[in-house]
Amino acid sequence: MRSIHRWVLLACLLLLSSCDQNQQVKDSQLSLMKTTNPSPIVTQKNKSKDHVKDIEQDVSSFPELYDVAVVKGKKDTLVVYKVKHLYRFKMKKIEKDINKMLEQKYPDENFTISSDYKIFLETVRLDEKMKSSKYKGKKAENRFNEIVNMTKDLK
C-alpha cells in the first residue's frame, strides 16, 4: 500500500513539474490539443501576405472550424484546418464545401485541403522554423512540397 502511495506521489510531482509556468512552450508542442491559429505563411521571399490572409479569413468563417492555417507556396496553396468535435461526422461535406468556396472565389489558385492533425502540426512547425529564420526560400519551399505530398498519400 505504501509503495502505491509513493508511485502516486511521484506521478503528481512529475505532473506538477511539467506544469511549470516559466518553461517556454512552442506552439507546435501543443498544436494537437489547443487552438494555435498560426499566421499565414508565404514560402517565397518578398511576397505579400495579404492575399493569404484573405484566404484564411474566408476559411475561418466556416462555423464548423476552429483552427486554420494557410501556406502559400510557389504553385500550390495549402489550407489546413481543425474541425469542431461534434461536426467531425460531416468531415467530407465540410471539405467539399470549403473546396467549392475556394475554387469559386480564387479560380487561379491551386488548393490542397486537409483536416489531418499531422499536416496541421507540420504546418505549425514550418511556421516556427521560418520565424526563427532556420528555413528560407528554397528550403522552406521543399519542406512545403513534402507536406503537400503527405496530403496526397492520404487520398
Partner 1 sequence: MATSKQKNMTPQQRNYQQLQQKHEIKRPVLKNCIKAFFVGGIICVIGQAISYFYIYYFDFTEQSVGNPTVATMVFLSMLLTGFGVYDRLGQFAGAGSAVPVTGFGNAVISAAIEHRTEGFVLGVGGNMFKLAGSVILFGVFSAFVVALIKTLLVIWGVL
Count of other CB atoms within 10 angstroms of residue 139: 13
Task: Give helix 117-131 / helix 138-154 axis angle, nearest 10°.
Answer: 180
The CA distance from 109 to 78, in Å, is: 10
Nearest distance, CB of residue 73 and partner 1, angstroms:
19
Binding site for partner 1 (CB under 8 A): 32, 116-119, 121, 150, 153-154
Query: Quick one: 49 or 118, whose CB is closer to partner 1?
Result: 118
Nearest distance, CB of residue 26 and partner 1, angstroms:
12
HSE-CB at 29 with a 13 A cutoff on CA atoms is: 5
C-beta separation of 27 from 128 below 8 A: yes
Query: Quick one: 9 or 154, whose CB is closer to partner 1?
Result: 154
Query: Quick one: 27 or 109, whose CB is closer to partner 1?
Result: 27
